[in-house]
Structure 1
Amino acid sequence: MAAQSRLALASERLEPIMDELKSRAMTLGINGYMGYRRNYALIQRILQVSYFAFIIGSTYRGLNPKPKKRATPSKAGDGLQKSTGSGEKGERGVERTKQAVNEDAGSADMSAPSSGRGKRGAKGRGPRVEVDAKFFEQLRRIMRIIIPSWTSKEAMLLAGHSIFLVLRTMLSLYVADLDGRIVSALVRAQTRKFLLGILWWMTVALPATYCNAMIEFLQSKLALSYRTRLTQQVHEAYLSDDTYYQLGNLDDRIRNADQLITVDIQKFSTALAALYSNIAKPILDVSLYNYQLSRNVGAEGLIIINILVQGSAALLRAATPPFGSYAATAQKLEGEFRWAHSRLIENNEEVALYRGQQSEKNAIERSYFSLIKHINRISKIRIGHGMVEEGIIKWLWGSLGLVICSIPVFVKLPGMGGRGSDMGSRTEAFVTNRRLLLSASDAFGRIVSSYKELSEMAGYTARVSSLLDTMDEVKASRFEKKLVSSAGTEENAAVLRGRGRVEESPNIVFEEVPIVSPNGDVLVPKMSFQVTPGEHLLIIGPNGCGKSSLFRILGGLWPVYGGVVKKPKANEFAYIPQRPYLSLGTLRDQIIYPHTVSKMRARGVTDEDLLRHMSIVSIEGLVEREGGWDVQREWRDALSGGDKQRIAMARLFYHKPRYAILDESTSSVTGEVEERMYEHCTELGITLMSVSHRPSIHKYHKKVLQFTGDGRFSFRDLDSKETERRQALQEEKEALEEKLAKLPQMRERLEAIGV
């Protein structure tokens, strides 16, 4: 009882205090509400400014993400050579080796990142492609190429595109307001206003359709201009300084450069042009539509709803798979599938002779089904992602939109109609706000969806950027190449760490130069010899001993890992292989390649001069037989092997270089033609370096460089007696072979006589 008395006494004492607190709270609430009403316009302005500052800040942070911390790279291992040097450009050599790439079918193309989460793909194929600081760094570099200045054609197209995007948004705002007025007139049964609204609706259709058509046109023009700029830049780098050769032979990072140049650049350009419209337009729409909505329904509700939308959008982004990695892997697998077909076309004769079509079919189908399996996997992933995306964007955001549209109906806002408004006013407000909200929701949905497109474009960007980066590395003579196992020995490793020097000289001089292939195979540890003008050099030795490697070093195609190479300029060399290259073009173009007709005329050379060159090797009849100088054919198919070699000889006579490398270049012609070719080259002052197994050509040479095949060589004068002895032995060999060929016929005759 005493306790109850004390509680009652305390309650009586607290009651006045609670009443006073309630009174003060009510007073503060009323004063706050009145202050809110008095300063409603200022508060709305502050909220609007804060909201749009938040949008701008979020957009900026989204487009400029902070770089992620990278894991410390592991120590280098054996297997992949990273070399530096320049041949004619400076020193060459090997800096270091690093971890070998995976030896599966896809690992050679390091330019194409693969799918998967984390720092490596699911199968270890490469790093994951993300929309991160690295992506934007790569994109900015490419943007500087495709939009070189603010006054460029691309910048003007982009400005025009932006103007039409703004005009379309302004027209959409007007159409939303017009739609509300038309429905209001319909509800109020105001015939005149309704018909006038329909008339304005049809009038607005003219500029609206023109804007839409121009946006699509300018987007396609932008994509084409981007592709043109980027392709020209890539061609400039790829087709200069032997980059196309070095990329395919001295480096393993890019295996299918043709697909990167022809397909990936086109896809990147198209995606970039579309992405600008898909991001810039929605951001502008969201800003303007939300601004208009904030004026119609108040900024408070709009901000609350947008917080919920931003949260759901963050959830959607978190649930978005790495489509950029998937796109990069798909492009890589497309390239491997195409490469498998190109490889078959390139080696079709050998495959046909071996009857290897089933084996090649298996290889091609493996690459195809790898591509299909990956595409099917992406399609299945898109099902779940599409359901989540539609559920959030269409249904969740749609319900939130209805809540916003109901605010002016159920809540009377300062300066706006509310419960007391008539049916027509409420209908007009609802329809206008509903249309604005649908447009804003659609724009925001496109912003969220564009993250997926941005992720896919990150894959294209990574591939194009890898091509540009690798070409820059190759031009600086920094190569990455898979090494042979013998490169790990202490002796060979010492050779690979060396650096050579290239100097200009009228003579060809090798001073302790190792002959090393790009994969680290040391063919000759040190080679020294000298060739002066007029001293024809014969090079002999077994296959794989280093003869062709020597020519590639002379041509500046392969690195020099030690010693000194002295030689004339590259344009004073000519190279004639066993199967000469015939270009696309006319018959005349085959003789003067790589010169043009105008350059030929500037040198004072006429068609009659070319005909004389051809007559020396007995192919002057080709001009009449094929239909004249200007006829165009696929010459590699139209001419026989002997005719191709004679064309190459006539080409040599036309250019008259200081030195010529003949690599089995007379194997398909008669001895008479071969003799005339060597004699005429001597008359023209061309010093020949010949590789041939024919003893008949020994008499035209003064020096011989002989490879033994075990890393050793000998360089000596070619003795005339030795030449005569070899010639006699060759003639005896041919006579014996002819008799042996007749032996079966003699046996048949002998058996016939015995019967």
Structure 2
Amino acid sequence: MNRIAEPGHTKRFFYDFIRLAGPYWTERRCWRPRLLGLTLALLVVAQVTLVIRLNIWTADLFDALERRSTDRAMDQIGIFVLILLGTMATNTAHLMVRRWLQFDWRRWLTARVIGDWMKDARHYQADRIPGDHANPDGRIAEDIRIATESAVDLVSTLFYCMLLLVAFVGILWSLSGWVRVAGVDVPGHLVVLAFAYAGAGAVVAFMLGRPLVRATDVRQTREAEFRFSLVRSHESGEPIAVARGEPLERERLRTAYETIAESWRDQSLGLARLLTFSSGYIVLASVLPILVGVPRFLENTLSLGRLVQSGQAFQQVTAALSWPVDNLAVIAGWRASVERVLLLEGAVRTAAAEAARKGEVSIELDRAPASQLRVQNLWVTAADGTATLSDLSLTVEPGERVLVDGDHEAASALFRVLAGIWPWGRGRVELPADDALMAIGPWPFLPQGSLRQALAFPDATDCHDDAMLRDTLSGVGLAYLASRLDEAADWTQILTPAEVQRLSFARIILSRPRWIVLGNATDTLDSASADTMLRLVVDRLPEACLLLIGQHPGSRDIFHRQLMLERASGGEIILHELHARRQAAKLPRSRPLSVIDRLRKGYGD
């Protein structure tokens, strides 16, 4: 259960959002957002001005009709055409500028988040940090869109309603005149009535919306469960087909879908109740001030035009006052999306800060042109600070071939450190410069695109000519792919795991690094193929250092020496501060703007 957010937490929420997304507006030489924002504000002012002018035009038109003045009525028709054209042009311009601003802000924020996330292995490290920041793809693609688009919409509509309120409260006050209540003359009675009417409408809307919110939440949960069931069935297609389990799985999917029906019915009833009220609320808002003003009209103290004008002004005031109610769901959705983006960004920042640790409680990683690969007093921990590999020292000379075998977890931990992607531990590691060292794990990444791109990754495709690519493919036993260099496909799905590992050795031959670190890079190959791949590297790159960490199914004769690793046991905590931080992260988290949740639930039970 989330705790109610304290005021300081709410302030922190806005501060973090401004820190993340605010530089779009404040960066030097960033004239585009300021120009778009100013233009949007001016267009909102123009919209409100046209609404005010239309309200005045209504009074003038009905006054002309009341006097049966043809000339004045015809003049009002001409004025209305101008107001209509101005409204059409202003609303269209407002739409285009608003959408340009929304997309430009989204583009900037997406680039910033991706830039921080996809940098120095932070995307990998952030996944190892506990917290609610899973599914970064959805947070970047969808939540950033909602965070930026809804923010512009909310600010724009709030500014519009504030201007509308200020303008029409004055108009409604002047149209109200004076009324006698219990022998006392009272001014501005229509303004008081508008505030009371809007307040009563908000209370009723909250009461009617309470079961609707619950039904909507239940329906969204059921819909998500149904989608998950479909995804699971798709991913498990082969075992379902082999077991002939389609009838049972079909029935399970049908049952999962039927669970949506009850929440759909409850949501429909809630929408019907709310629509019934809102329909009457809107219609009554247009008639109520006219009914209240009829006595003054019949007493000839209020003209027909001013009577109709007061009705329109009353509607505008109540509409402006209804902004919080009308936008409650939008605010809640915006808050949730911003929070999801901030949680991802926070995990990335935590990963960056922990990778940048210095001193005795950090892995001191030194990358420089070196004549050795050296590890001194290295302790590697899990992301929570508990040891997995203890007090390792290792030196590898140029041209040397070393097999580091033993415990799987310990070997994987060492490989991640030498690959430069694991910051948790302590000790000193001296590595060659990035351009001299190549690290390849058991599942090398194959980008979607042509086979040429998959072979060259992470280098550019024009680094190698076709003859070299074909010769390398032939050397690693993939000659049949030589004719498919320019074929675009998801090669991870096309190639078998063994073929993917062969392709990784082709990359090594093409890149010609002087230092090669392999992590379980031959574990899917048979022993003969594994030996063939390693001997190919030795023949093609005789001066390269080869360090294989993990399982190797082939012969050990190719290596100059072998080292056995043992996993640190007992769960010893090495990084106490980090461990305490991980434990604190498991505590219930305060939810910013929790008042939004309370309001959406009708103030709760």
TM-score, length-scaled by structure 1: 0.62
The residue that corresponds to 2:564 in the other structure is: 706
C-alpha distance after superposition, 1:180-199 (max 9, x if no partner) = 22223333333333233233
Q: Is the 8 A contact 1:176 1:435 kept in 2?
A: yes
User: How far 1:611 sits from its partner (Å)?
Assistant: 3.6
Corresponding position: 1:564 with 2:428: yes
The residue that corresponds to 1:207 in the other structure is: 86
The residue that corresponds to 1:242 in the other structure is: 121
User: How far 1:571 sits from its partner (Å)?
Assistant: 4.6
> Could you tell me which amino acid in structure 2 is paired with residue 645 of structure 1?
Q
Q: Is the 8 A contact 1:333 1:371 kept in 2?
A: yes
Task: Tell me the SS of whatever aligns to 2:513.
Answer: coil
> Could you tell me which amino acid in structure 2 is paired with residue 229 of structure 1?
W
**CA shift in 2, pair 1:227/1:551, >3 Å:** same
The residue that corresponds to 1:501 in the other structure is: 364
Superposition map of 1:4-15 within 5 A = none
Of 293, 308, 315, which aligns to 2:196?
308
The residue that corresponds to 2:381 in the other structure is: 516
User: How far 1:136 sits from its partner (Å)?
Assistant: 3.4
Alpha-carbon separation, structure 1, partners of 2:172 and 2:393: 84
The residue that corresponds to 1:136 in the other structure is: 14
Answer with 589-598 or 442-451: which moved more: 442-451
Alpha-carbon separation, structure 2, partners of 1:595 and 1:184: 77
Alpha-carbon separation, structure 2, partners of 1:167 and 1:381: 37
> Could you tell me which amino acid in structure 2 is paired with residue 630 of structure 1?
D
Superposition map of 1:466-615 within 5 A = 466-477=343-354, 499-504=362-367, 506=370, 507-518=372-383, 522-541=387-406, 544-597=408-461, 600=463, 605-615=464-474
User: How far 1:128 sits from its partner (Å)?
Assistant: 10
Alpha-carbon separation, structure 2, partners of 1:634 and 1:466: 31
Superposition map of 1:315-354 within 5 A = 315=203
The residue that corresponds to 2:322 in the other structure is: 445
Alpha-carbon separation, structure 1, partners of 2:521 and 2:538: 15
Task: Tell me the SS of whatever aligns to 1:476.
Answer: helix
Q: Is the 8 A contact 1:327 1:460 kept in 2?
A: no
Q: Is the 8 A contact 2:216 2:263 kept in 1?
A: no
Q: RMSD of the TM alignment (CA)?
A: 4.4
Alpha-carbon separation, structure 1, partners of 2:337 and 2:417: 36
Q: Is the 8 A contact 2:512 2:541 kept in 1?
A: no
**CA shift in 2, pair 1:176/1:398, >3 Å:** closer
Alpha-carbon separation, structure 2, partners of 1:165 and 1:710: 65
Alpha-carbon separation, structure 2, partners of 1:465 and 1:332: 23
Alpha-carbon separation, structure 2, partners of 1:349 and 1:638: 16
Determine which structure has greater relative contact order: mean sequence separation of CA pairs < 8 Å that are 6+ residues apart, divided by chain length. Answer: 2
Task: Tell me the SS of whatever aligns to 2:430.
Answer: strand
Of 280, 302, 313, which aligns to 1:436?
313
User: Matched residue pairs, number?
Assistant: 551
TM-score, length-scaled by structure 2: 0.76
Q: Is the 8 A contact 1:573 1:659 kept in 2?
A: yes
Alpha-carbon separation, structure 2, partners of 1:325 and 1:458: 18
The residue that corresponds to 2:599 in the other structure is: none
User: How far 1:119 sits from its partner (Å)?
Assistant: 1.9
Alpha-carbon separation, structure 2, partners of 1:668 and 1:461: 46
Q: Is the 8 A contact 1:540 1:707 kept in 2?
A: yes
Answer with 235-244 or 366-375: which moved more: 366-375
Q: Is the 8 A contact 1:138 1:461 kept in 2?
A: no
> Could you tell me which amino acid in structure 1 is paired with residue 547 of structure 2?
L
**CA shift in 2, pair 1:358/1:143, >3 Å:** farther
Task: Tell me the SS of whatever aligns to 1:533.
Answer: coil
Q: Is the 8 A contact 2:448 2:489 kept in 1?
A: yes
> Could you tell me which amino acid in structure 2 is paired with residue 592 of structure 1?
A
Answer with 362-371 or 425-434: which moved more: 362-371
The residue that corresponds to 1:631 in the other structure is: 487
Any gaps of 5 or more consecutive residues in structure 2?
Answer: 178-186, 571-605
Corresponding position: 1:119 with 2:7: no
The residue that corresponds to 2:334 in the other structure is: 457
**CA shift in 2, pair 1:170/1:287, >3 Å:** same
Alpha-carbon separation, structure 2, partners of 1:178 and 1:375: 46
Seq. identity, % = 19
**CA shift in 2, pair 1:176/1:255, >3 Å:** same
> Could you tell me which amino acid in structure 2 is paired with residue 559 of structure 1?
P
**CA shift in 2, pair 1:289/1:314, >3 Å:** same
User: How far 1:474 sits from its partner (Å)?
Assistant: 2.0
Alpha-carbon separation, structure 1, partners of 2:128 and 2:252: 22
Superposition map of 1:344-383 within 5 A = none
User: How far 1:239 sits from its partner (Å)?
Assistant: 0.8
**CA shift in 2, pair 1:446/1:562, >3 Å:** closer
User: How far 1:378 sits from its partner (Å)?
Assistant: 7.0
